[in-house]
Structures are given as structure tokens and as C-alpha cells.
Structure 1
């Protein structure tokens, strides 16, 4: 009872941040907590609740989840950038067939193409305008989201310059190939939604088992947090769970 009263008093005495924010500069009124403080707080709470084993298990699951989310964002950005570059190449082809110079065609298409795809077209336009090696310029671009697509574009430009093939025809073939690759990636991503959902449900079953065990009075949480064998099993279980999640991510994804 005394603990509840102290907690209530602490909540009532909790400082209000709104007056403090008004004293800050206009652009810095939001309180920003450094990310490492959140990590330190989560690690402290995990250690106090589940011990050293729980700390290691939480770290393994947190790192795995972070990498899976980061990889998912990267793949999504790659698909969007590839589709934008494909549309931009289509604009270049239209300009070339209308009689425009390659540099002017790439510049015109880059105006309607979002970055980083627009930056690729602008680099190609600058190199073509100055009479430089467009293939080398494109290959030196370091954006990992468009590495495969830019390599295809560089090869297409090389074929046109070396063998005298019409640039519009080569770029049009490159655009069609990129469109097919993007469509295939979207199709596989959509069809893998079911397996990904099943994997997420299976990943939550161990937690559900612990909760049901606690409700039935078996006390699995005490075993996992208060005994040496439980701590070891907790770490092993987290490692197996992380491996399963990562493997599921790898087999249900496709390179854009």
C-alpha cells in the first residue's frame, strides 16, 4: 500500500515539460532523448527483470529485429528507386526518338525523376555533354540502391557507343528488363506475405506458452529468470528464435 502511495505521489509531482519547452528556441522546443539512453534504459529493465540470460536474449532478439527491419526498408527503397529509374529511362527514350541529343534527353527526363534515379540521369547527361565516358561515370556512382540497375544502364550505353546501335533501342530494352524485374519482385513480395505472417505467429508462440504457463501456475518465468538452467535455456531459445526469423526473411525475399 505504501508503495502505491509513493508511486501516486511521484506521478503527481512529475515535472511538466511544456513550460520548459516554451523557454527553448522556437525550432528546438521538442524534448529529444538520445537513442543510447533508450537502449541503456531497456537493458537495465531487462537485466532487473530477467537477469543476465534475459539481457543476452533481449540483445540477440533486438539486434535481429533491427537488422530485419533495416533490410526491409532497404529493399523497399531499392524497389522504389529502380522503378523511378525505369520511368526516367522511358522518358530518355521518348526524347531520343523525338530527335533530342542524349545529354538533353537525359536532362529533360531527370527533371521528372525523383532522386536517386534523377541523379543518375543527370550524371549521364553531364558526361555525355562534355564528351566523357558515360559508362565509367555511371559505374562510379556509389548508391547501393541502384547498383544493379545502373550497371545495366552503363552496359547499354557502352553497347550503343561501341557497336553503333541506336541508343533509344538499347535503352528501351533496358527499361523493359527493369520493368520485368520490378514486376517480378512485387509479385514475389506479395505472395510471400502469407509465409511471413505465419513466421511472425510462430515467433510469438514461445511467449504465449510462457504466459499460459504462468496463468496455469507452472511458474515458467521463475524457472527462466531465477535458475541457471533457465537462464541458459532462455539464451538458447532466443538464439534459435532469432535464427528462424532471419532465415525466414532470407527465403521470402527477392532482390529487386
Structure 2
């Protein structure tokens, strides 16, 4: 009861942001709340409603959700970067077969290729123009999203320089391989939509189980938040749920 009264008082005394925005400069009238304040508020609510066990369980689930979302964004960005590099290599190959110098071909293709793939082609063009070691430049290039693709590109350039194979043909083989890897990653992602949805439903089922128990009068929420055994079970259940979500993420996605 006291907690509800405190929350009601906080809502009543919550400051209006419109006067603060008017006093700010025209370009900076949006009030940005620091992320750590939201984190502290969420932790306080979790502790007041579910105890220390609920706080630990919420922290475990939040960390897992953040890691899963971050990994998903990285895989998506990696696929897009790989496809961009493949398109850029297509431009390089066309220029080479038209008789252009490798530096000129890579520089021309880099202008129409978005980062970070464009940065790879620019580095290759600059090194080729100066007569440097392109294989070494690409190997030492720091591009986390394109690390496997850049390593493969460096090997292709090395094969062309060492064995005298036409650079356009070697780069064309590399481009086809990158296309196949990106297409395979997208195909796996699309086919795993069903299993991911099933995993999401299974992850939410414990919450509905607790709600159903409350409706039927079993009072599982009181057991989970008001007893030592319930607090331990709450943390253990969150750990198992987080492990299941992470494992599902690992087996339903593939890196390009």
C-alpha cells in the first residue's frame, strides 16, 4: 500500500517538461533523460515489487535480451556489408575487364559503395596506386563486420599477384562466393522465422502460468516474491529462460 502511495505521489509531482523546453535554445529543446536513470528506475520497481530475487532475475533477462538484440543487429549489418562489398567487387571486375588499372577500378567502384565496404575498396585502391602490398593492407584492415570477407579478398589478390592469374577472374570467383554466403544467411534467417516465433511463445508461457495461478487463487506471485524458496526459484527460472533464449538464437541464425 505504501509503495502505491509513493508511486502516486511521484506521478503527481512529476515536473512538466514544456516550460523547460521553451527556456532551452531553439535547436536543443528536447529533454533527454540519461539511460542510467531509466535503469535505476527499472531496478527500483523490480526490487519493490518482486524483491531481490526479482531484481536479479530481471537483470539476467535484460542482459540476455540486450545481447540477443545486439547479435541480431550485428548479423544483419554484416549481411548488408557483405552484399555491398560483393556489389563493389562487381564494379571493380567490370572496370578491370574494360582495361582499367586495378587502382583506378577499385577507386571508381568505391565511390558507389557504402561504408564499410567502400573503405575496403579505397584502401586497396590507395595501396595499388602506391605500389604497396595489397594483401598485407587488406589483412591488417580493421573492419569487424567484413573480417571473413576481407580475408578472402586478400587471399584472392595474393593468388593473382603470385601466380599471375587474371585479377578479374579471381575477384569474380570471390564475388560469387560472397553472394552465395549472403544468400544462404538470408535463406536460413527466413526459414527459421517459425522456430523463433515458437521460442518466443514458450518464453512468455511462464508469465501466463503465474497469471493463471493468481486467477485460480493459488497465489504463485506471493510464493515467488515473499518466500526464500520462491526467490531462489525465480532466479533459477530466469537463468533457464535466458539460456533457452540464447541457445535458440545461436541455432536459428547463421553469420554470412
**Structure 2 residue aligned with 1:70:** 70
- CA distance in structure 1 between the partners assigned to 2:195 and 2:184 by the alignment: 18
- CA distance in structure 1 between the partners assigned to 2:52 and 2:41 by the alignment: 15
- CA distance in structure 1 between the partners assigned to 2:126 and 2:177 by the alignment: 25
Give a deviation string over 1:76-127, Cα, whole Å, max 9, x none: 0000000000000000000000110000000000011000000000000000
What pairs up with 1:1-256 in 2 under 5 angstroms? 14-256=14-256
Q: What's the offset of the Cα at 1:248? A: 0.5
Query: Runs of 5+ in structure 1 lacking a partner?
Result: none
Query: Runs of 5+ in structure 2 lacking a partner?
Result: none
Q: TM-score, normalised by structure 2?
A: 0.95
Q: What's the offset of the Cα at 1:22? A: 1.7
Cα RMSD (Å): 2.0
Q: TM-score, normalised by structure 1?
A: 0.95
Give a deviation string over 1:21-51, Cα, whole Å, max 9, x none: 1211222211111111111111111000000
Q: Provide runs of 4+ in structure 1 moved above 4 Å.
A: 3-14
| More off after superposition, 136-145 vs 112-121 | 136-145
- CA distance in structure 2 between the partners assigned to 1:99 and 1:105 by the alignment: 9
- CA distance in structure 1 between the partners assigned to 2:188 and 2:4 by the alignment: 53
